[in-house]
Amino acid sequence: MHDARVRLNSILSPADLPKAELDAARLDGELFSVDGCFAPIDEPDRAALRAGSLAARFSPRLIAEQRSAAWVWGVMDRPPHTHQLCADLDARVRPTDLTGIEVREVVIDEADLLTVGDFRITSAVRTVVDLARFSPTFGSEEIGIVRGLTEMGRHSVGDYVTQMERRRNLPGKRRAIERLSVALS
């Protein structure tokens, strides 16, 4: 006799089952919500699971960056209201639905990327540098993210400066160094 139990995927989206069924399974305590997708309750909440929810919704040519990457790395408890994604200039990706996402075209080295689950994510160092360079404000939320990623990777301000020095004429470099020096002092 064989075991007839079926193992669900780690991440389920409305592409897998109707949304009403997914919501009902969540209400029954069989699934939990992962940023618009769902996971079986016996799945541990980990980076690969969060990255899987992004992979289920977005083009594989896109890359999670800044707050979205921080969420995947587990430094933020909740996904950002608007996901921050980027694409390499050579990727030529044009998302048709920009609801709930911001997409930037960037120059990015493969060394700045990691694949988590089925989705590419900026490294912790690249994530911190981009947050320090591009955040319109740099308050307690951003400082908390930077400190969390720094502790997770055991990095220092020097690591971030080295990352920025790899590229000439990097916009926002001086401001980023000042922000990081204050945040990590």
pLDDT reported for residue 168: 84
Please check whether residue 125 lies inside any domain of the structure. yes
pLDDT digits (tens, 9 = 90+) for 93-128: 666 666 788 999 998 999 999 999 889 999 999 999
Please check whether residue 12 lies inside any domain of the structure. no
Please check whether residue 29 lies inside any domain of the structure. no
**Residue whose C-alpha is closest to residue 88's, from 135, 39, 126:** 126
**Residue whose C-alpha is closest to residue 135's, from 95, 178, 92:** 178
Please check whether residue 155 lies inside any domain of the structure. yes
- 136 dihedral zone (left: phi>0; alpha: psi -120 to 50; beta): alpha
Query: Domain range holding 104?
Result: 45-183
Please check whether residue 30 lies inside any domain of the structure. no
Q: Which of 1-15, 68-82, 163-177 has the lowest mean pLDDT?
A: 1-15
Backbone angles phi, psi at 54, to 5 degrees: -70, -40
Please check whether residue 27 lies inside any domain of the structure. no
What is the number of structural domains in the chain? Answer: 1
pTM across the whole model = 0.90
- Maximum distance among all alpha carbons in the chain? 68
pLDDT reported for residue 96: 62
Please check whether residue 178 lies inside any domain of the structure. yes
Residue with tokens 């909740």: 78
* In the predicted structure, residue 2 carries a pLDDT above the cut 60: no
Q: Which residue has the higher pLDDT, 183 or 93?
A: 183
Instruction: Write the single-letter amino acid at 168.
Output: R
Please check whether residue 1 lies inside any domain of the structure. no
Mean pLDDT of the chain: 91
